């Protein structure tokens, strides 16, 4: 692990803890500052499904009849509901998820398994902030942009966790670059007028998170082979991103062809 890679690991670990402590104060302060009492009760589960359809411009997709989507949205609803009732800002939840993502590379220096758990929890919060915004009617375009930006920073921290657990920096950088290119292509397609692109690739965020999590778990289970395990995890993430970009390209080509056909 990092113990065999850098003689100053203890200093970096201490510096990471200090940085996280300072960031935690900022996140908590933001939550207190922007907490807002609700003027009306948050919507129920059926109302949340309806708002999700509106937010994602997907009137033909019924979350109540789509098993995976129903489970995911129901989970985020249950987690977001108490936060919404207390008037917690969705942006505060976004920053809390980013803070947890920052914990991943620090935790992975000593306990990669803990880093894996925190990586998953941080990713769950990525869905909860949107649910809080939807339940409270506080969804904004600026919040959407911020959430997308924070997602990329969080994933950089996830791949950083693989590096601090022993992965080759180049492999981790390739994994993150693949993620950025996939999401950038998706965003540009939306800017080109396609709105919600409407394709699920092999390289969606759950896949990327699982690649990192399994890499960290493997580093914990096989410390003597931590470098090989974590580097492999990063390369798998990079490979899936390449495949995902290909899937997205095929879908976009079909969509553009449909729009130009008289």
- pLDDT (tens digit, 9 = 90+) per residue, 55-97? 666 666 677 887 767 888 888 888 988 898 888 899 999 999 9
193 C-beta neighbours (distance < 10 Å), count: 9
Comparing CA positions, the residue from 257, 223, 241 lying closest to residue 171 is 241
Residue 159: partners with Cβ closer than 8 Å, 6 or more residues away: 167, 172, 173, 175, 176, 212, 234, 237
Global pTM reads: 0.88
Comparing CA positions, the residue from 145, 177, 195 lying closest to residue 241 is 177
Residue 47 has pLDDT above 50, yes or no: yes
Note the pLDDT of residue 3. Answer: 44
89 contacts 31 by C-beta, under 8 angstroms:
yes
Q: Identify the sign of the CA torsion 98, 99, 101, 102.
A: positive
Tens digit of each residue's pLDDT (9 = 90 or more) over 187-216: 888 777 666 556 678 888 889 999 999 999
More confident residue, 162 or 9: 162
């Amino acid at each position: 692990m990092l113990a065999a890679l850098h003689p100053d690991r203890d200093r970096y670990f201490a510096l990471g803890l200090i940085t996280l402590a300072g960031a935690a104060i900022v996140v908590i302060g933001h939550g207190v500052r922007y907490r807002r009492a609700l003027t009306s009760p948050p919507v129920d589960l059926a109302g949340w499904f309806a708002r999700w359809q509106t937010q994602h411009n997907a009137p033909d997709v019924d979350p109540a009849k789509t098993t995976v989507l129903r489970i995911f949205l129901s989970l985020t609803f249950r987690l977001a509901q108490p936060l919404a009732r207390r008037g917690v800002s969705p942006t505060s939840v976004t920053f809390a998820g980013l803070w947890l993502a920052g914990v991943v590379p620090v935790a992975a220096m000593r306990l990669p398994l803990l880093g894996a758990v925190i990586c998953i929890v941080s990713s769950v919060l990525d869905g909860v902030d949107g649910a809080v915004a939807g339940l409270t009617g506080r969804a904004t375009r600026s919040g959407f942009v911020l959430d997308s930006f924070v997602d990329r920073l969080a994933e950089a921290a996830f791949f950083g966790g693989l590096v601090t657990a022993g992965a080759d920096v180049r492999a981790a950088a390739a994994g993150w670059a693949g993620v950025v290119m996939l999401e950038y292509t998706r965003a540009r397609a939306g800017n080109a007028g396609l709105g919600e692109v409407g394709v699920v690739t092999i390289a969606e965020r759950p896949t990327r998170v699982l690649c990192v999590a399994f890499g960290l778990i493997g580093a914990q289970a096989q410390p003597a082979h931590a470098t090989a395990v974590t580097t492999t995890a990063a390369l798998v993430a990079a490979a899936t991103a390449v495949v995902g970009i290909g899937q997205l390209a095929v879908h976009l080509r079909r969509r553009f062809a449909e729009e130009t056909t008289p």
